[in-house]
A = this chain, B = another copy of it.
Amino acid sequence: MSEPHSEDNTSEPRLTQPPEPKLTLSPALETHEGLSVAELRDLWMILAPHERAEAFRLLPRPDAEDFFLELNARDHAELVLALPADQQRAWMRLLPPDDAADLTQAAPASERERLLGLLDEPTRKEVNALLAYAEDAAGGLMNPRFARVRPEATVDEAISYLRRQARERLETIYYVYVLDEQQRLRGVVSFRELFSAAPNRRMSEIMHSDVVTVRDDQDQEAVSHVFSQHGLAAIPVVDVLNRMKGIVTVDDIVEVVQEEATEDIQKVGGMEALDAPYMTISFSRMLRKRAGWLSALFIGEMLTATAMTYFEDEIAKAVVLALFVPLIISSGGNSGSQATTLVIRAMALEEVKLRDWWRVGRRELAAGVALGSILGTIGFCRIVLWQAITPTYGKHYLLVAMTVFGSLIGVVTFGTTAGSLLPFVLRRLGLDPASASAPFVATLVDVTGLVIYFSVASFILRGALL
């Protein structure tokens, strides 16, 4: 391993003043005493790229190496590009091929060729092979360096062979993979099994031949389901001919799981997924991600104004009806939001599949009637009670209370059922079910809620108020 940079870097010109001071920096950075690793980790999110590079270069070398290996692809790319050109090579070569590939993908297109040129020849070949895969496919996640042995090797031979392999190029050795001459995956032996097996037994005798694998073009979300289903530390990646290409380790999957959960949560909250940490995404990019959905929802919500126009005469005759409009439609929205969130999450965890739509819909219909009755009863009591204290709702208050009761059952039942089925519809259409966000369902339910409310009102109040 080459030396990334010397601890004494007085020969390097230091920035005596950060050129674009966006924020008040910690006093340590300003006085050039340097931050500790813990301090740097803590301040990382709020430092500008050149400040990060500055603080990073002041770290003692072993700390800097540990810190560097912890970073994600985006930070890797930004940091390496912010370092002086003569230091970039050493840091690029510190990375295993899968991380080097991710760094390259996260860097601006114009820099990629140059960054790849910094690698040594065999690693560059490995990285180029990885770059051929989509970033979110198993092939884009995998590490091409894994422990491999031949079926006819004995346990003792395998252990001493692995000791040589480990010295050169292994990253992780949880499992030893048994490959034939065509590099086809024949079996797997866990390290624990290899270690505890009798020294003279052959790999073909102790290996498991029913190996859990993923295909190199499989989506990362599907890969993460294979991990949570089998609880393995690493899964081999094979191509269509069962030739082994690399391994995906479970620590890569933690990041995938976090990423997918973040995307889902942001969609449930009613926006495009940001694809970047909140504190570092630029204001204008964040605004675009949010304004799109918000405008679409707004335009959808305009239908409520249209619907209300139809009921303008009813409102003019019975202003009391207008008072409960926000209460009624928000109850539909809230219950729909619960139902859609439950189904979206259950789908993401594969607890619920497309074919379950009927069972889910039936269950949510029942839940909607139950929840609607609860809210309807509370609403009914509220109106009767209020009227007893201060007469607010006129002499027909009982009819108004019944209207609210009936509408709530209808609106909540509709909201719950529609909210639970919308993710199925989206998935059936090949769209992301998580787009059936709480605000999307609320908007859908608002218009219908108004129609239900005014229909119930005109049925119950006809002859009395209307």
Contact = CB atoms under 8 A, between A and B. Distances in A.
B229 A338 contact: no
A138 to B, nearest CB: 16
A327 interface: yes
A290 B251 CA distance: 34
Contact of A269 (B166, B173, B337, B351): B337
B294 A335 contact: yes
A286 B367 contact: yes
A17 interface: no
A111 interface: no
Interface string A375-398: 100110010000000001000000
A344 interface: yes
A319 to B, nearest CB: 5
A343 B271 CA distance: 13
A262 interface: yes
Contacts of A378: 295, 298-299
B195 A41 contact: no
A295 B375 contact: yes
Interface in A410-454: 438-439, 442-443, 446, 450
A105 to B, nearest CB: 18
18 contacts: A41-B229, A166-B191, A257-B258, A265-B265, A266-B345, A268-B438, A293-B338, A294-B371, A298-B327, A308-B324, A315-B315, A319-B322, A326-B450, A330-B442, A330-B446, A334-B443, A337-B438, A438-B439
Please name the 10 residue pairs, one residue from A and one from B, whose CB atoms are nearest each other, closest first: A269-B341, A261-B261, A167-B196, A166-B195, A304-B326, A278-B346, A308-B323, A334-B439, A166-B196, A438-B438
Interface of A: 41, 45, 69-70, 162-163, 166-167, 170-174, 191-192, 195-196, 224, 227-233, 249-251, 253-255, 257-258, 261-262, 264-266, 268-271, 274, 277-279, 283, 286-287, 290-291, 293-295, 297-299, 301-302, 304-305, 308-309, 312, 315-316, 319-320, 322-327, 329-331, 333-335, 337-338, 340-346, 349, 351-352, 356, 360, 363, 366-367, 370-371, 374-375, 378-379, 382, 392, 438-439, 442-443, 446, 450
Given A302-B379, A309-B323, A312-B323, 20 more contacts: A70-B231, A173-B191, A227-B254, A228-B254, A253-B254, A262-B345, A268-B269, A278-B346, A297-B330, A297-B331, A298-B334, A304-B326, A305-B324, A308-B326, A312-B320, A326-B446, A329-B330, A330-B446, A333-B442, A337-B439
